[in-house]
Structure 1
Amino acid sequence: MDRIRIAVLGASGYTGADLVRLAARHPNVEIVALTANTHAGKPLGEVFPHLGMLRLPDLARWEDVDWTRLDAAFCGLPHGTTQEITAAVLGENPALRMIDMSADFRLRNLDVYAEWYGHEHKAPGLQVEAVYGLTEHYREAIGSARLIACPGCYPTAALLALLPIVQNGLVEASDIIIDAKSGVSGAGRSLKQNTLFCEAGEGLSPYSIGKHRHAPEIEQEIGAKAGGPVIVNFTPHLIPMSRGELCTSYLRLSGDASPDDLRDALAAAYAGEEFVRVVGRGVIPQTQNVRGSNYVQIGVFEDRIPGRAIVVSVLDNLVKGSAGQAIQNMNVAFGLDETAGLLQLPLFP
């Protein structure tokens, strides 16, 4: 088939840069446009020297891109900035596939979006058609979607571990505690005091306790599998490393379910999946086992407290948690081999 002509909105951010890194070696992709309004006119190698060896178009303002020439666009802009731009781009080229890595189209309920993001949704007509881009669970819908809302990194790690066991009624959906930790790149590339080296280094910090915006996203998807609304206990932490994410979920088992039942349900759910690995009993998932890759590791453990289990999931927040999953969704949307451009093995050490 002809190469898919793509643009990357927000190419000067960490997720945009990783999208370019992966797409540049994708056998079916041609990078036609890169946008970064604050760096317009610069070569990408000036913003990200590690990509300087690639032959790429210079960064441009998104308004200056000819969107009619493109087949797909990946959006790595901050939340709250994507809705109006997406509407404008799809207005110019209704046939384009928009694969959004921001939070702007993830929440189906517009009132919930307004509550958690502090403003009314600016493209409610498009929200109706947005498909949640958790590939392993929405593959069929993604295949025909024009607008794909890729999950956040924390929800990807948590939901891949929890959805199959909730759907099978093995745990009490009303009693889920998720302790999550992410590398500093998850906070984005803009200057923030809490991500300065002296602030984030040599320490571990929780943030947005009881009010993180990924919580309603996790609740939306778990509630859909549980058959009704749920509230989860979700606490994220910033850990002093560049990449990686680990979610430890504490669960109350249902009825006679055992941790082995949870592991069996996960193994059955992901038996045919390339990128999700359910490890054996006693094997502990670690972020260094997936760094730089699109792979996920999930492990199940018996808690010392009777009737409870612990599930640990790890991924690279910039790959499976963002850019890698976005490319995986593009592959599905265009009928390509789902693993195309994504089979890089983890970097270790």
Structure 2
Amino acid sequence: MRAAVVGLPASGKTTLFNLLTGSTRDDVGGNGSFSHGNATEMELRMAKVPDGRISFLSDFYKPRKTTYAQIEVSDVPGISPSGNGAGAEMTRFLNYLRTVDAFVYLVRTFQTAQGALPVDYKIDPVDEVETLNLSLVLADMQVVENRVERLKNSRKMSDLEQEELKLLEEAYPHLADGMRLDLLGLTPEQVEMLKGYAFLTLKPVVLVGNLSEDQFLAHDYPGRNAFSDYSKDSNLPVVELSAKIEWEILGLPSEDRSVFVKEYGIEEPAIAQLSRMLYRALGLISFFTVGEDEVKAWSIPQGTSAKKAAGAIHSDIEKGFIRAEVISFEDFKESGSVSAARSKGLYRLEGKDYTVQDGDIITFRFSR
């Protein structure tokens, strides 16, 4: 699963990308918007999803290797607030965005370096989100227009195509009003019907407010209340952080980090919160395999059966699936030991149709 970090030029995208992925490059993703630079300059890296459960299991088993869940993150050129970006370069940019599964909208809450934005540009988090949305809404409108025209020009439509045409005609005025398709109230069946179009405004979004150091310490910034209200009204999760502070802390020797974390009143790096929030937005959960060799988190879509989950490890395990030996992480933790958990009957034998739950610790039994 892949997520893209999008934002206006100089919003701090590259710093956020570096924080998410542990990269140290300063030039990731190019140096301009798609209307000025090269839209194909996309940087892809893996981001670890921090999980205290994996840390606990690693401390318990002391394995030779510990593997956290990961998601792929891309850093893309900035979207110009002027709206400039028509043509082949813009088309390539939008086509790339259709290949990702979720977006991180990064908005700044403070004035950037002179020249990064128009001189009359006013900092407004909600307005920045709307600017980012607008490019995606217009792209989806074009897709709807093209498909509606093709359907209407076809000599004969199937019943399914007639349903599709009706749905697209309902969606168009919604988009024309600047609204995202995920606010249209679509049923799961309707979402499935539109899945093939990879509509940009149906993809999950996590909002990130990038604060200055002073704003972070004050726990306030211009437009904060409006930004919070927008998040709730749009049903979009939001994370507030100072990418500059977290980047500086990350660059310190490990023994010095706790001092600065305490000074800034940081209980947990916001980048860790963002990683988990993005993981959930992608509809992913984790199950764990444990042992002396490795403790590992496996990523699967929510609602996955035990047999399909076995396939995440290896196709041979899925093909030869017999049963799954399962215990929830919480039950394991409360028991204090494997033998205690077994004596309490907390280990369960589940069949192929069992729906794996987030935090399940699983041992698969299979025929070779």
Q: Which has the larger radius of gyration?
A: 2
Name the one with the larger helix percent: 2
Scaled by the length of structure 1, what TM-score is found?
A: 0.31
Higher RCO (CA 8 Å, separation ≥ 6 residues): 2
Scaled by the length of structure 2, what TM-score is found?
A: 0.30
